[in-house]
Structure 1
Amino acid sequence: MQHFDYKPRGVCPMRISFDLDGDKVHNVSFLGGCNGNLQAISRVVEGMTVDQIEGYFKGISCSGKGTSCSDQLATAVRAAYEKEKA
């Protein structure tokens, strides 16, 4: 299992941290942002695959920003997965 820290863009959290085991995501946490909502997202995605997270969260926009915390999570886990495959 590999640990990753991602600096999201255009959203409130300063960091998204997670572990990647193959294509399965574990231990997601956000530093900053809407604590209750982000705890919920972290619990919901526990054990999901990168594809599942992208399917649920990619493209969600918050307040017209063109991105959201969940969209940034989808971006982060895909980038980490692609890095691991390379």
Structure 2
Amino acid sequence: MSKEFSFPNSGTCSKQTNFVLNDDHTIASMEVIGGCNGNLKGICRLVKGMKAEDVIDRMEGTLCGFRNTSCPDQIAKNLKKALAEMD
């Protein structure tokens, strides 16, 4: 089984993260709305098939310029929210 999630992003140029998580916490698909289109498409391709926990470990705390967050950090935060809902 898998479950679809959609969360708003905060503090970034991107507005929203949509993704599907499988029961084993692997990412089936991901899409980020807004932001740096090519970079975010690349990130979404890279994380497909990875465990959400591994993506969180790698991306959480990444900053963008003067901001206290980034698109990768928002992806990590949204994956954490999804895992909490799955448990």
Q: TM-score surpassing 0.5? A: yes
Cα displacement (A) at 1:64: 2.0
CA contact (8 A) 1:10 1:65 kept: yes
- Listed as ranges, the gaps of 5+ residues in structure 1 are none
Match of 2:30 among 28, 31, 35: 28
Could you list the runs of 4 or more consecutive aligned residues of structure 1 that deviate by over 2 angstroms after TM superposition?
Answer: none
For the aligned residue pairs, the C-alpha RMSD in angstroms reads: 0.8
Q: Identify the structure with the greater strand proportion.
A: 2
- Alignment correspondent of 1:2: 3
Quote the Cα distance in structure 2 between the aligned partners of 1:24 and 1:64. Answer: 32
Q: Percent identity?
A: 31
| Paired letter, 2:30 | V
Cα displacement (A) at 1:51: 1.2
Tell me if 1:51 matches 2:53. Answer: yes
CA contact (8 A) 1:25 1:77 kept: no
- Listed as ranges, the gaps of 5+ residues in structure 2 are none
